[in-house]
């Protein structure tokens, strides 16, 4: 695909992902302290991105990856909001750093778990296709 097509796919996916993030954020009531909605969004987005990447790696290049990966899931996740929101000023500095670091580690683990699941599923599909 051309660079122009890939950019269009990322743009469309990013707009949808950002809208989805706002919708999820609106469904979760604001609470003082830790932004649980943003943490949940980042965990889910990281896990799904890991799964999408693994399934794409197990097969040939996936033409819709720019739409789903960097587009939809890139727009859905929001690590920059974690650091930029005012919630960090409501916690002690050490607690805010712990929440940020813990979120990053949890999201890396979620991505690894999603990737493992995606790889296992892709291998099952390949084995079933070969055996059919």
Tens digit of each residue's pLDDT, the chain (132 residues): 789 999 999 999 999 999 998 898 888 876 777 888 888 899 999 999 999 888 877 766 678 888 999 999 999 998 776 666 666 677 788 888 888 889 999 999 999 999 999 989 888 877 777 765
pLDDT at 25: 82
**What pLDDT is recorded for position 85?**
67
How many Å apart are CA 48 and CA 20, to the nearest integer?
Answer: 14
Q: Structural domain of residue 67, as residue ranges?
A: 3-131
Q: How many domains does the chain have?
A: 1
Contacts of residue 76, defined as CB under 8 A and 6 or more positions apart, other chains included, come to 17, 18, 20, 21, 41, 44, 45
CA distance 55 to 16: 22
Residues 87 and 33 sit within 8 Å (Cβ to Cβ): yes
Residue 132: predicted pLDDT? 58
């Amino acid at each position: 695909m051309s660079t122009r097509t890939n950019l269009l796919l990322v743009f469309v996916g990013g707009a949808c992902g950002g809208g989805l993030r706002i919708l999820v954020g609106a469904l979760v009531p604001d609470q003082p302290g830790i932004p649980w909605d943003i943490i949940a969004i980042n965990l889910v987005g990281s896990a799904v991105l890991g799964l999408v990447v693994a399934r794409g790696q197990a097969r040939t290049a996936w033409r819709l990856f720019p739409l789903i990966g960097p587009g939809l899931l890139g727009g859905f996740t929001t690590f920059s909001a974690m650091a930029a929101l005012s919630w960090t000023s409501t916690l002690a500095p050490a607690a805010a750093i712990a929440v940020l670091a813990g979120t990053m580690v949890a999201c890396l683990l979620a991505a690894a778990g999603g990737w493992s699941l995606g790889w296992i599923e892709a291998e099952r599909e390949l084995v079933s296709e070969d055996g059919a």
